[in-house]
Amino acid sequence: MNNNSKVLSLKYRPKVFEDLIGQEVVAETIINSIKSKKIPNAYLFTGIRGVGKTTIARIIAKSLNCSNGLDKLCRDDLCENCKAISNSNHIDVLEMDAASKTGVDDVRDLIEFSRYGPTTANYKIFIIDEVHMLSKQAFNALLKTLEEPPEYLKFIFATTEIKKIPITVVSRCQRFDLPRIKSAELFEFIKKIKDKENGKVSDEAIKLIVKISEGSVRDALSLLDRALLSLNNNTEFNLTTAKKIFGYFDKSQLINLFKLIFQGNEKEVLKMYRSIYDQGVEPKTFINDFLELLYYFKNIELLKVNGTNFSLNDEEFELIKEIAKEVKSEILILFWQFTIKTLDELDIVSNQNLSIEMFLIRLIYLKDISNISKIIDENKILNESKINNENNIMNQYHENEDLFDLKNKTIGQIKNVIQEKQSEHKLNNKEEQQSQEYIINSFNDLLKICTSKKEMKLKYELEKNVNLVSFENQRMEISFHENLDKEFIKILSSKLYEWTGNRWIITLSKKKGKPSIKENEINLKKDLLEKAKKEPIYKNFLEIFPDGELIDIEIVKKNND
């Protein structure tokens, strides 16, 4: 095949370690291991697509088998081994795609083939791409050979899903995590390729290519290929053309959309979104870009214009900085949660465009909750113990109660604090009419008052689902019981305040606590039943009635009051 007819990702594929970009540390480590003849039994390369996993595997295969040696590794004038490896037809270097050969039989054939030494090369090498696709049985069949292979045999694995590989396999390999290529480095590389291909592509368009590729060299070269193929005569491939071809829209439009949302201009917000939608931007793409911009608004003070992966230019960066000064962090966090929620809704709603419009309208009204911090500050005057108590209830029972179904605990806590404040206000109105009629010094005193006040549900919870840890000085500590009513602590706190005129501290403890009253009764009954079965009268009964059985016993409570 003519080299000029190849796609750019194949045409400019690195042939030696020096050609690699962004993987200098990995390359240096491998070169040193080969020079010192400390070659591992197996290499394992992991990383996102297009960062050089399979490319490095082939370079290693050439480095180990090149007729000229590592120091004079073939670049252009290839020896027979390097040429065959580059064309993927070397008899001793086997490349296998684990996605198509996943079974244990395929691995057995591989192991059988490994018993024979190399024919023309120094090493027999197995390169297995997407190795995580192998079955569990296939991995198990490979373990022994992987741990103690013949001296002439080397394995090279490549994967994008390292977590799917059994740890027993990973531990037998020398693992290399290939990072994404840095934006500045990838930008310079693509610019050089553009010059070699005599393409007229603006720097701004290349920056967009780098942004979309997300650190993948292959993706960046594929996008550059599309850009060069779209050029007509002497026209330049500029940023405007790039956005149309790659389906990317200007971030400044989204920034202006944010500004209109914060201003509450519903009509202009919808008008601008429809303009963005008419440019061919998909709703999910819009939401993901919306989330990215939310991140910039929240953390703009911690970012630098040259460190945002080319997604913002100087003008956009300063505009976000200016708008962010007028927006509270609580609102931005609330927007983030709400946007994530909407992303899930897009899979349910048939017309995603309408869903996005409603999402933007809801954000306009959501922004008016700008007094969150003020409400929190006003409620700091509440008794500290009561706040701790509320936090316990929130943490244990109300994790799913939140405003606008956003799972936002801060809003949920405000809601409960306000309710508690209203409840306290009602109780304060009654304080003048009530006196401290009851003194509760023990758990039994509490049960008696529940009976006299006809609080049967509360008494039931206390007897059956409460394991007492401690009870003293208007403090009650209980262990968590899964069957305990969710509103129990709130109701009990309110009743104790009503009955005694004092605020009680009720806490949930990690300690086991004493058995509940019902549990004590069950245990007592069981002991009495076992004891009764040992009595002579029961034994005499069984002699007369062999089929008889004592199944229950009644405890008669004596009333000493």
pLDDT of the residue at 505: 84
- Does the pLDDT value for residue 518 go beyond 50? yes
Confidence of residue 4 (pLDDT cuts 50, 70, 90): low
pLDDT in tens, 492-511: 888 888 888 888 888 877 77
Contacts of 267 (CB under 8 A, 6+ apart): none
Length of the chain: 561
Q: What is the DSSP string of 381-440?
A: GS-HHHHHHHHHHHHHH-TT--GGG---HHHHHHHHHHHHHHHHHHHHHHHTT-------
User: Which CATH code of 1.10.3720.10, 1.10.8.60, 1.10.580.10, 3.20.20.70 fits the domain covering 183-246?
Assistant: 1.10.8.60
Third-level CATH fold of 3-177: Rossmann fold (3.40.50)
- Does the pLDDT value for residue 434 go beyond 50? no
- Lowest-confidence range among 35-49, 67-81, 478-492? 478-492
> Which CATH superfamily is 443-509 part of?
DnaA, N-terminal domain (3.30.300.180)
- Lowest-confidence range among 35-39, 181-185, 497-501? 497-501
- Does the pLDDT value for residue 358 go beyond 80? yes
Mean per-residue pLDDT of the chain: 80
The 3-state secondary structure of 362-382, one letter per residue: HHHHHCCCCCHHHHHHHHHHC
pLDDT of the residue at 368: 65
| Mean pLDDT of the 196-224 span | 89
Amino acid at position 376, single letter: I
Does domain 251-366 fall under CATH 3.20.20.70? My reply is no
pLDDT of the residue at 30: 93
pLDDT of the residue at 158: 94
d(CA 284, CA 263): 24
d(CA 207, CA 188): 10
Q: Do 3-177 and 183-246 show the same overall fold?
A: no
- Does the pLDDT value for residue 377 go beyond 70? no
Confidence of residue 305 (pLDDT cuts 50, 70, 90): low
| Mean pLDDT of the 183-211 span | 90
| Mean pLDDT of the 3-13 span | 82
| Mean pLDDT of the 409-420 span | 47
At 83 the three-state DSSP class reads: helix
Q: For the chain, what are the domain ranges? A: 3-177, 183-246, 251-366, 372-431, 443-509, 515-561
| Mean pLDDT of the 239-267 span | 83
Say what the pTM is: 0.57
Report the chain's C-alpha Rg in angstroms. Answer: 36
d(CA 293, CA 311): 10
Distance in angstroms between the alpha carbons of the first and the last residue of the chain = 105
Q: Do 43 and 157 meet the contact criterion of CB atoms below 8 Å apart?
A: yes
pLDDT of the residue at 509: 75
pLDDT of the residue at 316: 75
Between residues 99 and 16, which one has the greater pLDDT? Answer: 16
